[in-house]
Amino acid sequence: MLMLPELLVVATALVVLVIDLFLSERTRWLTGLITLLGLLAAMAAACTNTMHGALLGGRFVVDAVAWWFDILLILAAFVTVILSMDVLNGNTRVRMRGLGARAEYYCVLLFTLAGMMFLISSRDLITFYVSLELATIPMFALAAWRRDDARSGEAGLKYVILAALSSSLIVYGMALLYGLTGQTNLDAIGRILPNHVGPAFWFAVAMLVAGAGSKFTVVPFHFWAADVYQGAPTPITAYLSVASKCVGLAFMFQVLFRIFGGWLHDGSLLVSIFAATTMTLGNTVAIVQHNIKRFMAFSAVSQAGYFLLGFLGPNEAGVAAMLFYMLVYIVTNLGVFTCIIWYQNETGREEIEDYRGLSQTNPIMALMMMVSLFSLAGIPPLSGFVGKFFLFSIASSAGYHWLVALAAVNSTVSLYYYLRVIRQMYIEPPDADARRIPITKKLAVTEAFLFAGVVILGIVPTLYESIHADTATWLATLLR
Amino acid sequence: MASVPMEHALVLAAVLFALGLAGLLVRRNIIFMLMCLEIMFNAAGLAFVAAGARWAQADGQVMFMMILTVAAAEVAVGLALLLGFYHHFKTLDADAAEGMRG
């Protein structure tokens, strides 16, 4: 069954919603467990499915890249659900009001996941567009989930308007593509397009690139990210920063490789300019942030710039490098967010200064957060370094040495602001009355696994090799 | 029956889209911003219908149905959030949404 993982996710969403009707308030935490089991089943179904093929008359295709994206997305959603459970079940020291409706929360989260998984497998303008919206619209509700918090509602509303703007750009670009080619199949559009270069074509390119850039937080289309990240409930911020980024990359794969694959080589200069501005601006603005969620938003923007290096060339190694770095980024970023969520659950604080003296009250958590931050900055031998190394080598082999130099400078700048957090944890003294902050088993185990992932992914290269081997022939069929 | 040339429909769609975009940027009332978004979606839908007519296919109209449905869902969520926004800020002015700075 090619579509089994997606169907399991949708089925779990519906089951959670229905079962919730029969649960009392005391047993309602079970919905979280059912969600996790459903995601495990979907993960197992995806892992055991080694077949590639097409369904629904070629509108739904599972290939090597779609398979890897499915795995990454399910992983991100699985960890997010674990991170959400404490908050939703009320197992926090600081009461967070307005975060009720557990079953609906999980249901909506699972629907976004289903949309994301369908998006990378879709091969038709209609399924492509509908799955994009399925991945986006429920996210508005998740961002605004804290009904009593004005900032959460504000984040949700800003997200609605700006994401709808980018969606309308995308759908207008799609209309132009369809008008030019008369095809709704993405591969067919990509094949026919070279015969139709003209003003309408360039208009469509501009629309789709702006839309894709907005989904992937590429500067100058990143402006929604900071407010939405800061206002959303923290587990949703974590989900946005990894899953939404992952689906943004999937969207770029579909648009840049599949539709505009023929121009990607000539467009490398444009991609390199986007990459340069994205990483530079993200890094520069992150330096002056005080709120840790906003800080992580700009860190995520700058990371998007590193991803763009993989589109230069373009070649097979770029695809593998981007997928591998996405895996590393998901694990590392969730590692940082586990700490942020834990700290917020127990103390209710989210300013960078609030982390002072954490190494003395909670040395192990401080260590894990430090290692995750170092991995984001790209310190060897952590996984972030290895992932960045592969991306930089893509840019270098494409001849963009100035961009590699700029990216290296940016990594150093990013080290500076990641060190700001580490300085608070390790050098600043704790408050006089600071005591050890307790941690729930769920979060401790999750953080330990993510920490292990951050370290192991950098040392053991087998995963990169298997991604590379899987996707080695993927691009050749698209670029011709 | 004389048919409308595709160019005319596409020009109309482009004008509508530009009007929607301009309105979105100029208006500060959030309800009007959502309406402008709706105009932009419908402009894109019109472009799809015109394109479908050019190729004599039903796909353009099918896509228009999808766009209508999705835009309705989008606005439904938007209006729900708008109610929450009004509840907190007692205004529909988008400039009131400045609780976060950095």
pLDDT in the model for residue A196 = 83
Q: What is the residue type of A146?
A: R
Contacts of B77 in chain A (CB under 8 A): 137, 140-141, 160
Out of A133, A168, A289, the one facing B44 most closely (by C-beta) is A168
A287 and chain B: CB distance < 8 Å anywhere? no
* Crossing angle of helices A245-252 and A102-121, rounded to 10°: 20
Side-chain half-sphere CA neighbours of B23 within 13 A: 18
At CA A135, angle to CA A178 and CA A296, rounded to 5? 120
* Closest-CA distance of chain B to residue A38, Å: 26
What pLDDT digit, counting tens, does each position of A123-181 carry? 999 999 999 999 999 999 999 998 888 888 899 999 999 999 999 999 999 999 999 99
pLDDT range class, residue A11, cuts 50, 70, 90: very high
- Of all residues in chain B, what percent carry a pLDDT higher than 70? 95
CB contact under 8 A, A164 and B74: yes
- Least confident piece of the model among A5-9, A75-79, A350-354, B38-42: A350-354
Residue B50 has pLDDT above 70, yes or no: yes
Residue to substitute from B54, B81, B85, B98, interface A, most A β-carbons within 10 A:
B81
Contacts of B8 in chain A (CB under 8 A): none
Judge whether B50 is closer than 8 Å to chain A, CB to CB. yes
Cβ of residue B51 closer than 8 Å to a chain A Cβ: yes
Q: B57 — contact with chain A (CB < 8 Å)?
A: yes
Distance from CA of B3 to the nearest CA of A (A): 17
CB of B9 within 8 Å of a chain A CB? The answer is no
| Interchain pair B99, A158: CB under 8 A | no
Q: Is the confidence at residue B1, as pLDDT, over 50? A: no
pLDDT of A19 above 90: yes
**What is the nearest CA distance from B13 to chain A, expressed in angstroms?**
9
Mean pLDDT score, A404-412: 94
CA dist., res. A348 & res. A292, Å (int): 12
- Calculate mean pLDDT across residues B44-68: 92
**Which chain A residues contact residue B61 at CB under 8 A?**
none
Summarize pLDDT for A189-210 with one digit per residue, the tens: 988 888 888 888 999 999 999 9
pLDDT of residue A176: 93
Q: A282 in contact with B at a CB cutoff of 8 Å?
A: no
Average pLDDT over residues A400-429: 93
Closest Cα in chain A to B62:
A126
B15 touches A at CB < 8 Å:
no
B78 to A168: CB separation less than 8 angstroms, yes or no: no
Establish, for the pair of chains A and B, how many residue pairs have beta carbons separated by less than 8 Å: 137
CA distance B29 to chain A (A): 12
Q: What is the percentage of chain A residues whose pLDDT exceeds 90?
A: 71
Q: Which residues of chain A lie closer than 8 angstroms to B84, CB-CB?
A: 144, 147, 153, 156-157
Assess B73–A contact: CB distance below 8 Å, yes or no. yes
User: Is B28 in the A-facing interface, judged by CB distances under 8 Å?
Assistant: no
Residue A345, amino acid:
N
Section A63-73 average pLDDT: 93
Q: Residue A226 and residue B100: Cβ atoms within 8 Å? A: yes
Whether B12 has its CB under 8 Å from any CB of chain A: the answer is: no
Query: Which chain A residue has its CA at the smallest distance from B77's CA?
Result: A141
pLDDT higher at A117 or A317: A117
The nearest alpha carbon in chain B to A232 belongs to B100
A325-361 per-position pLDDT tens digit = 999 999 999 999 999 999 999 988 899 999 999 999 9
Is B35 part of the contact surface with chain A (CB cutoff 8 Å)? no
Contact A361/B at CB under 8 A: no
Residues of B in contact with A184 (CB under 8 A): 59, 63
Say yes or no to pLDDT of A470 above 50: yes
Chain B residue closest in CA terms to A179: B51
Contact call for B99 and A161, based on CB within 8 A: no
User: How many CB atoms are located within 10 Å of the residue A116 CB?
Assistant: 31
Q: Do B81 and A167 touch (CB under 8 A)?
A: no
Whether the CB of B10 is below 8 Å from some CB of chain A: the reply is yes
Range A254-275 average pLDDT: 89
Does B101 score more than 70 pLDDT? no
State yes or no: pLDDT of A269 exceeds 50.
yes
Q: Which residues of A touch B97 (CB under 8 A)?
A: 154, 157-158
Compare all CA atoms of chain A with the CA of B18 and give the residue at the minimum distance. Answer: A169
Q: Show residues of chain A in contact with B62, CB under 8 Å.
A: 126
Tens-place pLDDT, residues A293-308: 999 999 999 999 999 9
Rounded to two decimals, the pTM is 0.94
Q: Do B40 and A289 touch (CB under 8 A)?
A: no
Smallest CA–CA separation between B20 and chain A, in Å? 10
Q: Inform me whether the pLDDT recorded for B32 exceeds 70.
A: yes
